[in-house]
Amino acid sequence: MRVTTGMIYDNGVSQIQKQNARLLDTQQQVATGRRILRPSDDPVASARALEVSQSQSVNKLYAANQGYASDALKLVDSKLDAATDILTYVRTRAVESGNGAYSAKEQSAIGEDLAQQFDALLSIGNSKDSTGDYVFGGYRSNAEPFSGSLAAGIQYQGDQGARTLQISASRNLPITSSGDEIFNTIHAPAGSAFALSSAANSGTGLVSGVALASSYNGHAYAVNVGSGPAYSVVDATTGAVVPAAASVSGTTTTLSFGGVTLKLSGTPTAGDSYNVSTVASTFDVLGNFVGALKSGNADATRFAGLQTIAGMDATQESVSRVRSGVGSRMVEVETQQNINSNLDLQYTQTLSRLQDADYAQVVSDLTQQQTYLQAAQQSFLKVSNLSLFNYLN
C-alpha cells in the first residue's frame, strides 16, 4: 500500500478532529452535569426521561392548583367565620330586645344597630376573591350574588353551582360554596314556619304571630292585600288559589288558610304582601326584625325577635355545615400537597438516574481524552516532518 504525504496529513487532521469532538462532548457533560447531551447518546434513556419530565410538569401544575385551592378555601372559611360573629351578635340583640322594660326608642336603637349588621352580612355575601370574582355567586362569579337593600329586600342573583379546581388527575375539588345554600335556604324549626312581611310594604301591618294546624301541608303561601282591605292567598308551591277567612279585632287581623293562622298587627294597605314558608332567607328574616324594631309595634317586635333567634340559629347551622365541608377540603388539599411533593422528589430522582453524569467518571474521561489529544497532536507534528527532501544536501 502506498502511503502518500497527503494521506498522512488527512489522517492526522481527522484523528485530531475526532479527539477534539470527544473532548468537547466530555467538557459539555462536565459543564451541564448531564450524561445525555442528545437523544442519540442513549435513545432508551432519552425517551424515558422525556416521559418522566412531562409527568413532573403536570405534577407541578397540580401543585400550583393545590396552592390556589388552599388560598380560596381559606378565604371562604375566613368570610364564614366573620358571618358567624355577626349572626351571634344579631341573636344576642334579638334576645335583648325581648326585654319588656325597653321603650320604643330603645327598641328603635337596637333596630338601627342591626341595620348596620344587615349591611355587614350583605357585604360578606358579596365578597370577592383576589381576582375580582364573587365568592358566593356559584358559577356566576362575575355578577353580584345578593342585590338590593334593607328597604327594598334582597334577591339572590347567583346559582347553586360551586367552582372547582383540578388538584390531581382524578380529583376536581370544589373551592367555593353557593350563597343560596348558606343564606337563602334556612329552615324553620320542626313544627313551625317563618311568616314575613315584604320589604316593599307601605302599610303599617306587620306579622305578629303564626300558628300551624296538623292539616298544614308544609307548602309556602303568599298573602296579597287588595283594596278594602281584601286578602287573597296563593299556594306558592302549586300556584293554586287557597280560600282564606279573615277576622279583624281592633288593629289585629287574623287570617286562616291551609292549616295556617296568621296574625297581622297594624293596618295593611293595598299592594302589601306577606308570605309563610318553612324555608326563608337570612336577609328577609333579619330585615323583618329591623322593620319591627323601628315600627314601635310591640307585638310585631316580640314575634319578629323569636323568628330572628330561630333564623340566626338555622343560619349558623348552615354556615357550620359549609365550614365543615371547607375544612375537610382543606385537609384533602394538604394531603394531596404531601403526595405531590413526594411524587416530585421521585421524578427528580428518576431523572437524575437517567440523565445525570457520574462526575468521577467524566473527569477521568476528560483527563484521558486530553492526553490522547496531546499525543495525537505531538505525533502529527513528528510524522508531518518526515520527507525525503530533508535528506537532500
For 122, the enclosing helix (H) or strand (E) is helix 104-125
Q: Which domain holds residue 129?
A: 34-186+281-356
pLDDT at 5: 65
> Is pTM, for the whole model, over 0.85?
no
For residues 44 and 175, membership in a common domain is answered with yes
What are the grid coordinates assigned to 392, written together?
A: 537532500
Residue whose entry in the numeric block shows the C-alpha cell 297581622 = 264
Whether residue 39 has a cis bond before it, omega within 30° of 0 = no
Residue where a domain stops, chosen among 252, 277, 302: 277
Q: Residue for cell digits 442528545?
A: 38
- Is the domain of 109 the same as that of 215? no
Helix, strand, or coil (residue 312)? helix
Give how far Cα 355 sits from Cα of 44, 57, 347, 360, 393, Å: 11, 17, 12, 15, 61
Tell whether 348 and 295 lie within a shared domain.
Answer: yes
- Is the domain of 260 the same as that of 294? no
pLDDT given for residue 360 in this prediction: 66
Shared domain check, 309 and 234: no
- H-type helices in 126-195, by residue range? 179
Backbone angles phi, psi at 249, to 5 degrees: -135, 100
Residues 213 and 342 in one domain: no
Do 331 and 255 sit in the same domain of this protein? no
Block means of pLDDT (10 residues each) for the chain, 393 residues, are 66 70 67 65 75 87 93 95 96 93 93 96 94 92 92 92 90 92 93 94 93 93 92 93 92 94 94 95 96 93 95 96 94 93 87 66 69 69 64 60
**67 and 136 share a domain?**
yes
Number of H helices, E strands in the chain: 7, 15
Q: Are residues 153 and 52 in the same domain?
A: yes
Number of domains comprising the chain: 2
